[in-house]
Amino acid sequence: MPGTVPAKLAGFAATLALLFGAGALAGGLVDPDRGEPASAHGAEDSGATHSASGQEAAHAVRGLAVAENGLRLVVKTPELRRDRSETLRFRVVDDDGETVRNFDVEHTKRMHLIVARRDLSGFRHLHPRQGADGVWTTTVRLSDSGSYRVFADFSHEDEATTLAGDLRVDGAADLRPLPAPATTAVGDGGYEVRLDAGRVQPGREADLRFTVTKDGRAVHPEPYLGAGGHLVALREGDLAFLHVHPVDEGRFAATFPTEGRYRLFLQFKDAGRVHTVAFTQEVR
């Protein structure tokens, strides 16, 4: 999701539709290790974008630079092998090149790492561990070749920051077009998620409501990273990062800064597992 701002972290209730697959206007199943269980190094969620309008909306966009707020992201393993469990290593340095070791706890973690394929067909939310040398490490398995964007989302000295870098997975890339917008997404395990957003305009706060069902029954997600659900939005083209926080049951408030299409990655937890579903949102 940009940085993190306290919001009303409420339970993420549900009543209708989830996991990627095929919907009607914004749905599509992502590929995060196919519903692997959450763990310290597993694919997990993130979520939300700052609510803003006018000039403030510009500040809701992050992840376009490798350096910000006097900090810089250094990816130590920019090349990974396809379809292998690899160790991704990175660190955050200050203006003097010194490794930063102190980070604030946000959403129960000190570091959230988002890995997204350039065509937005792949998505991971990981929670790395920091070693004594200040280097962060996490295990990731990426099944598709091509270019990826890595987002380190954290808070340092009470300042929310999102830094981004590039990652390459060996082999020829088979790029995919962004799925058309749809109102529902269906995925593994019999889950369905429905998105009710109405008309979404740039610079105006959008009310995004998600309802989750499984086999026709309402699902009430379990707490996940201190909330009932998390949402990350990435803008098509430059992959500008918007981190959206829940404000009510099944509801997220997000301000999209520009017209265009955004990919929404919603994550929630049920039966001890984290599930991810993706929607394409048109903003105009």
> Out of 5-14, 22-31, 197-206, 236-245, which region has the weakest mean confidence (pLDDT)?
5-14
- Count how many domains the chain has: 2
Q: What is the pLDDT of residue 21?
A: 35
Does one domain contain both 116 and 251? no
Among residues 146, 169, 192, the one where a domain terminates is 169
Q: Which residue has the higher pLDDT, 271 or 38?
A: 271
What pTM, to 2 d.p., does this model score? 0.80
Q: Could you tell me how many helices (H) and strands (E) the chain has, helices first?
A: 1, 21
Residue at which a domain ends, from 116, 149, 169:
169
User: What integer pLDDT is reported at residue 187 of this predicted model?
Assistant: 72
Return the percentage of the chain with pLDDT > 70, whole number: 78
pLDDT at 171 exceeding the cut of 60: yes
Neighbours of 160 (CB within 10 A): 18
CATH code for position 227: 2.60.40
Residue 129 lies in a domain: yes
**Do both 91 and 127 map to the same domain?**
yes
Q: Assign residue 143 the CATH number of its domain.
A: 2.60.40.10
> What pLDDT shows up at residue 227?
82
Q: Tell me the per-residue pLDDT of 179-208, one tens digit each, with 9 for 90 and over.
A: 999 999 987 788 999 999 989 999 999 999
Query: Is 33 a domain residue?
Result: yes
Residue 82, domain extent: 67-169
Sheet containing 260-270: order of strands: 27-28, 273-283, 260-270, 230-235, 241-244
How many CB atoms neighbour CB 212 within 10 A? 28
What pLDDT is recorded for position 44?
Answer: 37
Question: In the predicted model, what is the mean pLDDT of residues 204-224?
Answer: 93
Per-residue pLDDT for 51 more than 90? no
- Boundary of a domain, candidates 123, 147, 169: 169
Mean pLDDT of all residues in 247-264: 90
CB 219 within 8 A of CB 105: no
Per residue in 141-159, pLDDT tens?
A: 999 999 999 999 999 999 9
Please, are residues 202 and 79 in contact by the beta-carbon 8 Å criterion? no
Of 106, 102, 124, give the one whose Cα is nearest residue 7: 106
Q: Is the pLDDT of residue 218 over 60?
A: yes
Please compute the mean of the pLDDT values over residues 126-147 and round it to a whole number.
97
